[in-house]
Amino acid sequence: MQRGVKVGAVKFDCLHTDDDQAYQKAGIPVKKGLSGSLCPDHYFVSNIEAVLEWGLNEGFDLLISESAGLCNRCSPYVKEIKAICVIDNLSGINTPKKIGPMLRMADIVVITKGDIVSQAEREVFAARVHSVNPTAIIMNINGLTGQGAYELSTLLFDQDKHIDSLKGRKLRFSLPAALCSYCLGETRIGESYQMGNVRKIKLEENHNGK
């Protein structure tokens, strides 16, 4: 904003979010969308066009869409639009391997909470992120002191890139799938209540690892 870039934001979440207040406090116009019982990614992709339109009407130079990022199969990125994944050093050393498209397909991976773990753990965590997504720029950012935040900001805004419409654009990867009786409100347990896209755990394969 100090560089005269007009910024707006939208926060997608599931049940509740206070993140919109954080944007507001920083003087950034913000909208929030709560998906309720729906997968927030599906909710995101069905609404992002309208959000972009809002952004265009407001005359923003930069529009940030922050997703809920609830499950490790989240995939909220659109092709050719800058994608950032934020994960923290405390999430566990195997977490990079557990996260799907949200990490694998990101352009920039921001790693936070590096101020409270050891240098060794930071290095190992970054190396693991790198082996999952070798093409991304990996940045360590301290959310408390802001160290690294300025540097990240220089990578966000591209003067020459404009997005007028999302129509026909594609997601980088398909969203988590679902359409079964439980999606539609079924609560009873039992084979006879399961309809649609249902999958069974393969117990006999479990003992040998995969």
Partner 1 sequence: MASKELLLQLSPVALLERFPYLESFFSTVMVKMEGNDNRPLNSILKDIEEQEAEDGAFDAESFIAQLQDYILQMQSFLGQDNEQVDKLTILPGTDKSGMPEQFDALVFEKSKITSIVGPTGSGKSRLLADIEWVAQGDTPTGRSILVNDERPTNDWRFASGKKLVAQLSQNMNFVMDLSVTEFLEMHARSRMIANENQVISKIIEAANELAGEKFSPQAPITSLSGGQSRALMIADTAMLSQSPVVLIDEIENAGIDRKKALQILVGEEKIVLMATHDPILALMADQRIVIKNGGIQAVIQTTPQEKKLLTRLEEADKKLQQLRTKLRSGEVLNYKDQ
Residue number, 138 or 180, with CB nearest to partner 1: 138
Decide if residue 135 touches partner 1 (CB under 8 A): yes
Residue number, 10 or 67, with CB nearest to partner 1: 67
- According to DSSP, residue 113 is labeled -
Q: Which helix (H) or strand (E) holds 65?
A: strand 62-66
Region 171-200 residues binding partner 1, contact defined as CB under 8 A = 173-174, 177
Closest Cα partner for 39 from 168, 171, 179? 179
Region 77-96 residues binding partner 1, contact defined as CB under 8 A = 89-90, 93, 96
Residue number, 154 or 187, with CB nearest to partner 1: 154
What b/e string do you get for 41-76 counting C-beta neighbours within 10 Å, with b at 16 or more? Answer: bebbbebbeebbeebeeeebbbbbbbbbbeeebbbb
- According to DSSP, residue 78 is labeled B
Decide if residue 124 touches partner 1 (CB under 8 A): yes
Site residues (vs partner 1, CB under 8 A) = 73, 75, 89-90, 93, 96-97, 100-101, 104-105, 114-124, 126-135, 137-138, 140, 142, 145-148, 150-151, 154, 173-174, 177
